[in-house]
Structure 1
Amino acid sequence: MLLDAVEQYGFGNWEDIANHVESQKAQECQEHYINFFVQGNIGKATFPTEYGFRVLDHTCPDGGPLSPSITVPVPPLDLSIQEQQELGYMPFRDDFEREFDNDAETLVSGLSINHDDDDLDIEIKLCQVDKYRLRIRERERRKKLARDYGLITSAASTSSKQSKSQQQKKKMSKDVREFQEKMKSFSQFHAAAEHEHFFEDLQKEKELKSRIKELSRYRRHGLTVISEIEDFEDEKYRREKKKENRKKMVSFLLSARLLRPKKRLLNSDQTKLNSLKKSRRKSRKLDILIDDDEVKDDDTEEECKEMASQPGYEMLSERERKLCNSIGMTPANYSTIKTCIIKDYLQRRQGFPVKIRYPSGMDKTHRRKIMSFLSDNGWIGVT
């Protein structure tokens, strides 16, 4: 009855056990159970006196791995409040607001051991913990390096120098700043002055290579004397300026003539167009007086190359390309005009009273050249 009561009411609930037994009191039931079942032969055979696994206190001051006596607190650095705020440094914790590899804790922040994890899941999580420990060890190595070499105090004392260097960086070109950023990885192997000298040497090497390339270009153009370079650059600038003005003029004429075919030009636009025509004729006369054959050949070749990049160029024949180049018309506009003329001509052949349409504002000379070209090549009959 005693064993049944202990099983039913639980060990230690001696009052309910005594009520179940009825013949014994609570104290007697407790003594009898402990003497015969806990400390008796049954207890000695059931409960071992020595345990194979014992919990050890690793935080004891005897030298455990977590003992506070192992790590000596680092004395805080002597920095003013303003310097601490500029560096984001917390001296009593010896930490920064933003540490190296600041997101390293994300590796283990969401880890937890679940009851349904198998051996593979546990091994993966342990590998993540090892990776986290390596990153934390690298962070501590850098902090120790900064403390041993006095980089924290020197960084606080040189904040004004950094502001000056930032002003110098603003004066640098974008390419120089990007190149300096790429060279930062080598600063860990150099002292400050040595790294600055290294960067200046690389910049000098880059400038020398650029100068050699420029002189090679002059040599390819037949220049052998330094004094000829200035005249060459002036002549090159004059040709490019003339070519740019010609492009602007042609684009304006095309937009004025072809982009608005059903609208007449306003008086101001007509006046501007006439002035542009006169200036173009004057520029052509000046080109005849000033330019030599080589310059003309260069301009013609450049215009051909420019027209070859425009849409519709590959659809034209060689004679049509020469015609477009001579009248300064784009291949797309020429194809549109040619289609309209041939279509109107065919309708007239079928008996429809259709008048051949031309774009509004089109030059009569250009119109005559296109009509004669089409009739000579058999596209249309003689009109």
Structure 2
Amino acid sequence: MAKYHCNYCQGDIYGFRIKCSECPDFDLCLQCFSCGAESGTHKRDHDYHIAGDDDTSVGAFDIPKPWSLVEEMMLLDAVEQYGFGNWEDVANHVESRKGPECEEHYVKFFIQGTIGREILCVDTIGSNVTDHSCPDGGPLSPSITVPISPLDLNIQEQHELGYMPYRDDFEREHDNEAETLVSSLANNYDDEDIDVAVKLAQVDRYRTRLKERERRKCVAREYNLIQAATTLGKQKCQTPKKKMSKEDKDLQEKVKVFSQFHSLAEHEAFLENIQKEKELKTRIKSLMRYRKNGITKLDDIEHFEEEKFKRDKKRDNKKKLGNCSPLIKRGSMVSKKAAAVIEEKLDILIDDEESKDEDEENDSKEMAAFPGYDMLSERERKLCNSIGMTPGNYLTIKTCIIKDYLQRRQGLPKIKIRYPSGLDKTHRRKIMSFLTDNGWIGVT
């Protein structure tokens, strides 16, 4: 006699049955459940579980101690997450099973069982192993498939260059930090497609940088740059280092990019030619300056330079003389009359210097270009040339001084006159002395 009956068709249930998890004491046979039978408060979308005659959960495989479907799903998820062989973490994830049980169950049913035989190609395992380090697009490291013979260096040179002959490698390579691109990469079970694409792009960048590193090593071997570096290092130790100017250092830094196309001798000749070109341009510019000044023979250059030096020296003395100011202070024992005599002597000295200056005509031509020059007398023009003042500024200062003098004579209230900003007191005194001597104002 059957122990359980179907609540829908009232038939006896032998073997497995569907037990509703929401309705109390409600069982369905497999046929009624497959038809979506509903009865009373029971609906087809209620949660359920498969039960046997002894009211225990039914496993996916027919074994004495079956695993529940929940345990099977947790086992598959744990193997995918933690990897095949990490049975301790897998058991912690399943919780209800131990590590050896998980390993035995997974190997028996999912690898050696029906599922494993259908999914895994057991016959071809081990026969079609692909070397992923050397794909069709090129090896991850180009030196894997194309070995390079070690360099012929003695022990001392190997130590100086940091060269390791058995590995054919240097302690510090070009782009030595390239490995940081892939050092922290790892495949995670929850990686999305965009994450995988980013990681593949990083690996591709790493391969590109490795190819560039290998290309540079090949260039160094082809042009014997490594041996040249050791020879150059010995020469530097034997000969004192020549101090280079900042311009030469900047030039070498700019043309360093062309060194990959030159040998050592060619690159040094290239630098020498650039320096020679610079010297030739300077010489051409100097000869054009001589031609502009009427020098057409090389014998006249020395005389021209001597005369130019004399003119520059006289001009410097003239500027120093014009900037010197008499040490006259208020309350000093020197009277105003004595001060005026000193100023007059200074003006005479300036006039004598100007008469001797060979560049007087050039200065007069330059001064004539300023507005108001035609309003000055000959002595006023000389005064403006001596103190380096434009005619417009001189006329303004002259007007202010005469206006101040007239207001004092008429007894009008004294008004403080603002002279042009930046006016030197020495120049103002020279102008007042000049106006007094020429009768424009009286002695005050």
> Match for 1:232: what amino acid?
F
Two-structure CA RMSD over aligned residues (Å): 5.7
Conserved? CA contact 2:322–2:386, under 8 Å: no
State the partner residue of 1:51. Answer: 120
Conserved? CA contact 1:79–1:153, under 8 Å: no
> Match for 1:49: what amino acid?
E
State the partner residue of 2:312. Answer: 240
Aligned CA distance change for structure 1 residues 265 and 100 (closer, same or farther; 3 Å): farther
* Selected match of 1:151 from 207, 220, 225: 225
Asked if 1:326 is matched to 2:385, the reply is yes
| Number of equivalences | 326
The superposition leaves residues 171-190 of structure 1 with CA deviations (integer Å, 9 ceiling, x where unpaired) of x5544444344444444434
Q: Which consecutive residues of structure 1, in runs of 5 or more, have no partner in the other structure?
A: 12-29, 268-273, 309-313
Q: Give, in angstroms, the shift of residue 213 of structure 1.
A: 2.5
Determine helix, strand or coil for the equivalent of 2:219: helix
Aligned CA distance change for structure 1 residues 327 and 225 (closer, same or farther; 3 Å): closer
State the partner residue of 2:360. Answer: 296
Determine helix, strand or coil for the equivalent of 1:101: coil
Conserved? CA contact 2:225–2:264, under 8 Å: no
* Higher Cα radius of gyration: 2
> Match for 1:288: what amino acid?
S
Q: Which consecutive residues of structure 2, in runs of 5 or more, have no partner in the other structure?
A: 1-55, 60-65, 73-100, 335-340
Alignment of 1:210-289 (within 5 A): 210-253=282-325, 285=352, 288-289=355-356
Determine helix, strand or coil for the equivalent of 2:217: helix
Conserved? CA contact 1:88–1:96, under 8 Å: yes
Conserved? CA contact 1:107–1:128, under 8 Å: yes
The 2-side partners of 1:62 and 1:327 are apart by 87
Q: Give, in angstroms, the shift of residue 333 of structure 1.
A: 9.1
Asked if 1:367 is matched to 2:425, the reply is no
The superposition leaves residues 93-129 of structure 1 with CA deviations (integer Å, 9 ceiling, x where unpaired) of 5444443234444555676777887655654553343
Aligned CA distance change for structure 1 residues 74 and 297 (closer, same or farther; 3 Å): same
The 2-side partners of 1:339 and 1:129 are apart by 84
The 2-side partners of 1:366 and 1:77 are apart by 87
Alignment of 1:82-121 (within 5 A): 83-105=157-179, 107-108=181-182, 119=193
Determine helix, strand or coil for the equivalent of 1:158: helix
The 2-side partners of 1:178 and 1:6 are apart by 77
Determine helix, strand or coil for the equivalent of 1:223: coil
> Match for 2:265: what amino acid?
A
Q: Give, in angstroms, the shift of residue 192 of structure 1.
A: 3.5
State the partner residue of 2:39. Answer: none
The 2-side partners of 1:101 and 1:326 are apart by 67
The superposition leaves residues 146-166 of structure 1 with CA deviations (integer Å, 9 ceiling, x where unpaired) of 245543244223312245787
Determine helix, strand or coil for the equivalent of 2:241: helix
Q: Give, in angstroms, the shift of residue 138 of structure 1.
A: 0.7
Conserved? CA contact 2:181–2:203, under 8 Å: yes
Conserved? CA contact 1:108–1:132, under 8 Å: yes
Determine helix, strand or coil for the equivalent of 1:250: helix
The 1-side partners of 2:252 and 2:260 are apart by 14
> Match for 1:100: what amino acid?
H
More helix by share: 1
The 2-side partners of 1:184 and 1:211 are apart by 27
Aligned CA distance change for structure 1 residues 225 and 154 (closer, same or farther; 3 Å): closer
The 1-side partners of 2:189 and 2:442 are apart by 95
Asked if 1:80 is matched to 2:155, the reply is yes
> Match for 1:161: what amino acid?
Q
Determine helix, strand or coil for the equivalent of 1:3: coil
The 2-side partners of 1:265 and 1:136 are apart by 86
Determine helix, strand or coil for the equivalent of 1:224: coil
The 1-side partners of 2:205 and 2:383 are apart by 70
Conserved? CA contact 1:59–1:66, under 8 Å: no
Give TM-score scaled by structure 2 length: 0.52
The 1-side partners of 2:198 and 2:344 are apart by 80
Determine helix, strand or coil for the equivalent of 2:295: coil
Q: Give, in angstroms, the shift of residue 367 of structure 1.
A: 1.2
Conserved? CA contact 1:344–1:357, under 8 Å: no
The 2-side partners of 1:57 and 1:135 are apart by 28
The 2-side partners of 1:121 and 1:187 are apart by 40
The superposition leaves residues 276-327 of structure 1 with CA deviations (integer Å, 9 ceiling, x where unpaired) of 99899667536534x44xx32234457x59xx9xxxxx9x865699687335
Aligned CA distance change for structure 1 residues 209 and 350 (closer, same or farther; 3 Å): same
The superposition leaves residues 10-66 of structure 1 with CA deviations (integer Å, 9 ceiling, x where unpaired) of 57xxxxxxxxxxxxxxxxxx9xxx9xx969xxx74x665243798976569999978
Q: Give, in angstroms, the shift of residue 233 of structure 1.
A: 0.8
> Match for 1:297: what amino acid?
E
Higher RCO (C-alpha 8 Å, min separation 6): 1
Conserved? CA contact 2:164–2:171, under 8 Å: yes
Asked if 1:6 is matched to 2:75, the reply is no
Conserved? CA contact 1:345–1:356, under 8 Å: no
* Selected match of 1:133 from 207, 219, 229: 207
Aligned CA distance change for structure 1 residues 339 and 197 (closer, same or farther; 3 Å): same
Determine helix, strand or coil for the equivalent of 1:6: coil
Q: Give, in angstroms, the shift of residue 328 of structure 1.
A: 0.7
Q: Give, in angstroms, the shift of residue 135 of structure 1.
A: 1.8
The superposition leaves residues 229-275 of structure 1 with CA deviations (integer Å, 9 ceiling, x where unpaired) of 1111111111112222222333343xx78xxx9878999xxxxxx99
Conserved? CA contact 2:162–2:171, under 8 Å: yes
The 2-side partners of 1:329 and 1:286 are apart by 14
